[in-house]
Amino acid sequence: MQCTINGQPMPVQSSAVHTPPYHEWTLNYFTVCPWTREARVEITYDHPVTSAVVRPLSAGICPEVHGCTVAFTMTEAIHVSVEPDNNLAEAMQVFPYVPSEPDFTGYDHVYRFEAGEHDVDELHLTQDRTAVYLAPGATVHGRIFADGVAGLKIFGPGALTMRRYHREMPEEMLRCMEIRNCRDVVLEDLCVLDSCCWSVRLNESQDIAIRNIKIIGCRGNADGIDVTGSSHVRISGCFIRTYDDSFVIKSLWGGNVEDVVFEKSTLWNDMARPIEVGVEMRCAHVRNITFRDIDVIHSLTPYPIFGIHHGDRALVSDIRFENIRIEHAPGGQLFDFRITDSVWNTDTQKGEICNLYINDISLVGAEGRDFRHVHCRAVGFDETHTIENIHIGRITAFGKVLSGGEALGLQSNAYTHNIAFEQPETPVLTAKMLPGQVFAMGKDGRYHGTLKLEVCNNTPETACGEIGIKLFPMGVHQCDETPKPYRLASGERVCYEYAVTAAPGKLAAETRSSRVDCRNDFYYCELDYPMPERIADAPALPLTTLYGHRDGEVRFALRNGWLEIAADAMKHHDLTLYAALPPKERADNEVLFTVEESYYGEGPCIKWKDGALCPAPEIGNHFEITYVFLNQPKTEIHTLRLPRNHEGLIRVPMASLNLPKDSRHLWLELELHRPTGCCKPYTLFRSTLPQDTAHMFCSCRATK
């Protein structure tokens, strides 16, 4: 990949990123270039390009494509991402800066890093009136930690990176840039790359200006900019691509957060949330926070685009989300405001949330592809820890105004009060998933039945579009998922029926609509595996992964307290058997269904809440099932390693699984140990954390 600007070759740099399906780190390419008045940019790839897009779309740049080259003209010094053929792996960013001689007037202590490589490990700043300059072409390896400094400036177009460092360092050494107990601080023009943890953290500091910072992070907890316990902060003109949250408000040690503005920036989230207030807010007040004029060019998971997540004591008030443009978030939630328990909260009392203002939020891009459906949430904790006064102004989706709880798919509860819509309520289409012919097992060892999809046009105009269903886990169940076209007059409805062939285990179906103003629906059921006494009579289950690996079939039988397992893969590989006794009843908030596809927003998450099935968009990361929200099934998981054997057959006594000999109803899962290049375990029923949670185990019942 080569880049020229106004005919001059520019250095192409790279930093690691972690993208769905999260099997390996890849590279993000970028160039940092001086800006004058206008830039003619040409990027040449080593293969032909048929199309390209320049983001953010609000820049209005239409590139030209000639053979292997993408070319365009920039008339403003803004950060752009160039993406050929919708291939995010070959995206390249152009980061302009205004060149000037560094001015150290008024600074008594100066650190200057010229072009080249510099190893600092930690640059610890403790003196007032300190300036740190990273010249063009400078790469500083290590971290910068400023403690108790008044009058601090860290600037220049060079890069600060931790790519040579590991997460095994002491916790206080993990962050690339940390500003603690400082005031009168300027951070400008820097590239902050591959931090081991939060990239830029402001702790208990005041009067801070952050301008034109570029952050690229790939590691867990590699947030972009975290404003913690600080006030009077202005953050503008930044580009952030992270594996975790991008713009974050927190308070860790009691300092209030107030008067903070994030604006005129571009965000790309490979995981987690672009805009987040929370979750740690251990202070009296978090107030007067504004997020405005922000482009979210990619958000690749089910997490909300913007949200407030609270479980500590702070009164969170006067938070504004304005002029936010969302380009590509196919499985994302629009917004989420919640007061709830989580592992991150340590205060003994809960706080409240009040006075939220949402306006001029736009979904742009391709309808039905870049944002599949709109859903939001505002949920208080109890009678005294509530969410109050949410003002919702103009929200548009691909040119359509969306207003009202139905149009936004807004879930709220009795502890959320006074949600006011500025726009009249907009009617929508509704999709409803219904059971059809009851699923019954056939001679092929598969279940056969039907599902029905009903679509109703509640709008005053004729509605045209396409709709269908998608089955999960992907590749396990079969039906015709081809979208069906419809044309419905106002008040008209249509019903489609789908013949489904399903394997034993969990089955989830979700509607897929070409229109964002169609309220989608899901269907969920659990299909038992019948365990006969003879292995020859047992149904065969294919052992496959989402990515096409296939290792024969598996069968289970149960007789006189012995579990018999036949598996072709056992002839060549070790396996681990997981077993549990089903709990007597579902616990409130218990997760019932997640698969690997749920991790990056392609598949649904489903839980049991208030006696009913409901979506669980908060489970964007599987570790949140056990670690953050503690909502795994309440049962003990027993494991047993099964060594390979040439017969591919093994008999296991119930006692070896610590289960009663007379058990007739079990939850089972089987993991195959062989390299696949995938980050999730290779399991029979698609459990992603079989050692920690049994929610995807299959219900197996003994038969005579």
Q: Which of 192, 246, 196 is nearest to 219 (CA)?
A: 196
Confidence of residue 171 (pLDDT cuts 50, 70, 90): confident
Q: Report pLDDT digits (tens) over 554-586.
A: 999 999 999 999 999 999 999 999 999 999 999
Confidence of residue 342 (pLDDT cuts 50, 70, 90): confident
Q: CATH assignment of 529-582+635-702?
A: 2.60.40.1190
2-97 and 529-582+635-702 agree in CATH topology = no
**What is the mean pLDDT of the segment spanning 291-305?**
96
**φ, ψ for residue 569, nearest 5 deg:** -65, -20
Other CB atoms within 10 Å distance of the CB of residue 666? 24
* List of residues 6+ apart from 189 with CB closer than 8 A: 97, 155, 156, 157, 211, 212, 213
Domain covering 101-222: architecture: 3 Solenoid (2.160)
What pLDDT was estimated at residue 233? 98
Domain spans of the chain, in order of start: 2-97, 101-222, 246-424, 429-527, 529-582+635-702
Q: Which two tokens stand for residue 305?
A: 């685009």
Give percent of the chain with pLDDT exceeding 70.
100
Flag whether pLDDT at 241 surpasses 90.
Answer: yes
Asked whether 56 and 325 are in contact (CB, 8 A), the reply is yes
Confidence of residue 169 (pLDDT cuts 50, 70, 90): confident
- pTM comes to 0.95
Flag whether pLDDT at 220 surpasses 90.
Answer: no
Which class in CATH covers the domain with range 429-527? mainly beta
Burial environment of residue 570 by CB neighbours within 10 A (0 to 12, 13 to 18, 19 or more)? buried
Q: For the ranges 364-378, 572-586, 615-629, which has the lowest average pLDDT?
A: 615-629
Give the C-alpha separation, 59 to 46, whole Å: 27
Instruction: Provide the H-helix boundaries in 243-381.
Output: none
Query: CATH: 3.60.15.10, 1.20.1270.360, 2.60.350.10, 3.40.50.300. Which one for 2-97?
Result: 2.60.350.10
